[in-house]
Amino acid sequence: MPKTTSTRKSGKGSEELRKAILVLHGPNLNLLGSREPQHYGLATLEDINQALKTRGEACGVSVDSFQSNHEGQLIDRIQQAKRDGVDFILINPAGFTHTSVALRDAMAATGIPFVEVHLSNVHNREPFRRHSYFSDLALGVIAGLGSQGYELALEFALRHLHVKVASHGSQKTEKTH
C-alpha cells in the first residue's frame, strides 16, 4: 500500500500559503534499511522522510512523501501534485528510472520542476541502470550519495524556490553500525 506523509494544511485545517515539496519514492524503496545495504545504506524510508519533513518545517515548507510499488499510483500522485499546487518534486523513480515512459510523461505533463535522486551510483552498477528516462527533464540528478542525496536535493529545491533557508546542524539520515 502506498504511503503518504505530511500535508499542505495547517493543524487548524486551513490552507497555508507556504511552498510545498513532494518527495516520490518508487518501487522497493519501502524495503530500505534491509534491502541490499551495500547499495542502498541502512537508513529506512521513514528515516529519510522524517529528516526531510523536519528540515522543510524548519524552513516553513511543507514536505509530503509518497512511496508506491505501482507505476499507476505514482502517475496519479504526480497528476494530483499539479492540482494541489506542489512547487517542486524530488523523485527517486527506482526501477522505473530505466523503464517507465509513462512516469516520465507524467513528470513532463505537469511541468513541476524536479530533481532525480538515486541512493546508489547507478553509473558503476549494471549497464541497464545507466539510462534514465528522467535525467534530461530534471533540473539536476544526484546519485551515489546514499540518503544524503535526498537532503542535498531538498537544499537545492529550497534555494530554487527562494525559500529563506534556516541554518541547521548536520542532518543525519544514514544509520551507522
Q: d(Cα 49, Cα 53) in Å, to the nearest integer? A: 6
Q: How many helices (H) and strands (E) does the chain have?
A: 5, 6
Output the nine-digit C-alpha cell for 19. 511552498
The amino acid occupying position 36 is E
Taking Cα atoms as reference points, which of 31, 42, 46, 47 lies closest to residue 177? 42
Element (H, E) at 24: strand 20-25
Cell readout for 126 is: 549494471
- Distance in angstroms (rounded) separating the CA atoms of residues 27 and 88: 21
Cβ neighbours around 164 below 10 Å, total: 7
Cell 505533463, residue located: 109
- On whether the CB atoms of residues 106 and 100 are closer than 8 A, the answer is no
Which residues are catalytic, by number?
40, 118
